[in-house]
């Protein structure tokens, strides 16, 4: 009896020992798993990576330091904290929603100097110049930049008339706004810099006014086109006129030179004749007379009338030189009454 009881007690204790051993192994495995998870968490919190277009601001007990090199970096977990800041140029719209494209009237609706209403949309581009000041000098530097931009936009638009805002004055307005914002950001020193501000669109609030401004713009373009055509025509005509004028002047100079030379030649000839005349007056007179007759007589016709006046006979001078033919002489003898009335006796 006693032997059986002892055996039963042993058999009951053996399963309990197995359970205890199994529980001990499970506890060890759970502990190892927890340790590994904690180590992985700590290791993950100690490693971070940076891209080419990012800064990292790492703070150690509240003291910030900037990391600019890209790649994988290590920090002390729970002691050091880091924040990423973009190096790239970023931007935001004013006056419209960039996702939906819908107008935001409270931002775009403005009044011009001549008390007209206009909707103007802008796009602002900025970049971070000092990551530490960007994170800690102000609570939200981008929000500050947007508020400053809206304020200067309204102030500047109010200095121009509606025609300048919509058509001709956009570049000047953009430059003025940019200058004011850059100066103010330098004063605030919040680690952010304005890169550019651009007018995306500017139009009157009603369709009728829009159409009127379109007509004005078309008229201005037509005016510029006409001016350009006129300038082109002028540039074509002026050289042609100058060439014609030069040709006329050259022709006139040539004619003047020719006449002057001819006059000089005649003067020289007359001077020679005068010199001869002074030496031999009578002979020179006779020679001049004969030379003049030689030039005049071949073109003259001599008419001789009879004394009774009833008939007349014309003897052309050419007959003496052989230039007048017999047939011409017969014709001249025919009816010479009418010709005698018209010809003068020489």
List, for residues 123-141, the tens digit of each pLDDT value. Answer: 999 999 999 899 888 889 9
- pLDDT greater than 80 at residue 99: yes
- Answer yes or no: pTM beyond 0.85: no
Q: Mean pLDDT, the chain, as a whole number? A: 77
Mean pLDDT of the 79-98 span: 87
- pLDDT greater than 70 at residue 233: yes
Residue with the bigger pLDDT between 205 and 166: it is 166
Highest mean pLDDT among 21-35, 44-58, 184-198, 206-220: 184-198
- pLDDT greater than 80 at residue 205: no
Structure tokens at 256: 């003047």
- What pLDDT does 304 receive? 59
Helices (H), the chain: 2-46, 105-108, 131-136, 141-157, 162-163, 170-188, 207-279, 281-296, 318-321, 326-334, 337-342
57 close to 64: Cβ distance less than 8 angstroms: yes
- pLDDT greater than 60 at residue 13: no
Residue with the bigger pLDDT between 101 and 300: it is 101
Q: Per-residue confidence at 33, pLDDT binned at 50, 70, 90? A: low
146 close to 156: Cβ distance less than 8 angstroms: no
């Amino acid at each position: 009896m006693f032997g059986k009881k002892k055996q039963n007690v042993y058999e009951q204790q053996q399963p309990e020992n197995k359970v205890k051993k199994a529980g001990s192994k499970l506890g060890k495995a759970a502990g190892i798993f927890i340790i590994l998870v904690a180590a992985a968490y700590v290791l993950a919190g100690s490693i971070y990576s940076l891209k080419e277009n990012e800064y990292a601001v790492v703070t150690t007990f509240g003291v910030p330091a900037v990391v600019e090199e890209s790649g994988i970096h290590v920090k002390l977990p729970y002691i050091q904290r880091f924040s990423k800041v973009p190096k790239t140029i970023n931007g935001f719209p004013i006056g419209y929603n960039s996702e939906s494209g819908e107008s935001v009237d409270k931002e775009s609706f403005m009044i011009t100097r001549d008390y007209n209403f206009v909707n103007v949309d802008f796009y602002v581009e900025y970049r971070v110049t000092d990551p530490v000041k960007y994170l800690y000098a102000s609570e939200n530097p981008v929000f500050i930049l947007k508020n400053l931009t809206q304020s200067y936009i309204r102030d500047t638009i109010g200095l121009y008339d509606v025609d300048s805002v919509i058509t001709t004055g956009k570049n000047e307005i953009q430059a003025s706004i940019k200058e004011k914002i850059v100066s103010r950001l330098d004063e605030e020193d919040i680690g952010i810099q304005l890169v550019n501000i651009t007018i995306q669109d500017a139009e009157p609030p009603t369709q009728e006014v829009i159409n009127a401004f379109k007509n004005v713009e078309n008229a201005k373009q037509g005016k510029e086109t006409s001016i350009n055509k006129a300038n082109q025509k002028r540039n074509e005509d002026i050289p042609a006129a100058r060439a014609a004028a030069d040709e006329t002047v050259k022709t006139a100079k040539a004619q003047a030179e020719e006449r002057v030379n001819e006059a000089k030649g005649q003067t020289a000839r007359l001077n020679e004749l005068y010199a001869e005349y002074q030496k031999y007056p009578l002979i020179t007179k006779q020679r001049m007379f004969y030379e003049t007759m030689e030039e005049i007589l071949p073109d003259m016709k001599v008419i001789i009338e009879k004394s009774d006046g009833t008939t007349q006979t014309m003897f052309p001078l050419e007959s003496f030189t052989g230039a007048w033919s017999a047939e011409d002489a017969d014709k001249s003898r025919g009816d010479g009454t009418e010709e005698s009335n018209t010809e003068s006796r020489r």
